[in-house]
Amino acid sequence: MLKTKIININPEEIEEDKLGVACKILKKEGIVVYPTETYYGLGAGCFFRSAVKQIYGLKKRDGVKPMSVVISDIGMLRSIAAEIPPLFPALAADFWPGPLTIIFKATPQIPQELLGAGNTVGVRLPSHPWLRALVKCAGFPLIATSANVSGQKEISDPDRVISKFDGKVELIINGGKTPGKFPSSVIDLSTDNPKILRAGAVPASELKKYLP
């Protein structure tokens, strides 16, 4: 069993010492539980194949189901998206940062285990200030999957997250209760026929305005 470090943060206040603790663990290919603008997430550096496999194991997730990533800014998208579709600028202008996951064709650097059908990857620019600061500090996108066992409900309560993952991950970042309600919406821009894969925090009615 791992000795899990737990740090308490104010999501709206970037404390450099606490950020540094989390970054150091991520750069050593450690696994972290962190708060988002929806639920708690489970993640690690997206380029670390061993960490990707560990997360699948922790979630008891089917290996054919892809996991998305979070970035700190649109500039970081270049390291994971092989091409930028024509619809992307308008969607990003209106919904990023925010709870919208966009599917792109992936670059070869992304581990195959993380990818969806057709070598695609889901990407989100979160509106959570601490999470964006963490990704920027790490210097690479982070895996972003809900901190739960596959098939179980997402978790917004930090006490429940700690009870589930204490001893299983290197770090749990306690940012208090997250908003919960809805997961991120998902839209696929990886083909010539863009489509909404999941309606969530961003209503489908809003996303449909951008589809041909």
pLDDT of res. 19: 96
Encode pLDDT of 14-43 as tens digits: 999 999 999 999 999 999 999 999 999 999
- 154 burial (CB, 10 Å; 0-12 / 13-18 / 19+) is middle
CATH of the domain at 70: 3.90.870.10
pLDDT tens-digit readout, 72-92: 999 999 999 999 999 999 999
Q: Residue 63: pLDDT above 80?
A: no
- pLDDT value for 93: 97
CA distances from 19 to 132, 133, 201 (A): 11, 8, 27
pLDDT the model gives residue 212: 84
State the average pLDDT over residues 49-67: 91
Note down the domain range covering 108: 5-210
With a cut of 90, say whether residue 71 has pLDDT above it.
yes
Task: Please indicate whether residue 11 or residue 72 has the higher confidence score (pLDDT).
Answer: 72
With the CA atoms of 75, 79, 85 and 90 taken in that order, what torsion angle do they form, in degrees rounded to the nearest 10?
A: -20
Measured distance CA(57)–CA(49) in Å, rounded:
13
Burial class (CB in 10 A: 0-12, 13-18, 19+), 135: buried
The pLDDT, as a whole number, for residue 180 is 85
pLDDT at residue number 117: 87
Q: State how many domains the chain has.
A: 1
Distance CA 137, CA 134 (A): 5
| Across 181-210, average pLDDT | 94
- Pairing mode, if any, of strands 5-8 and 171-174? parallel
Q: How does pLDDT run across 95-139, given as a tens digit for each residue? A: 999 999 999 999 999 999 899 989 999 999 999 999 999 999 999
In the chain, what percentage of residues exceed pLDDT 70? 100
pTM: 0.94
For residue range 133-150, list pLDDT tens digits in order: 999 999 999 999 999 999
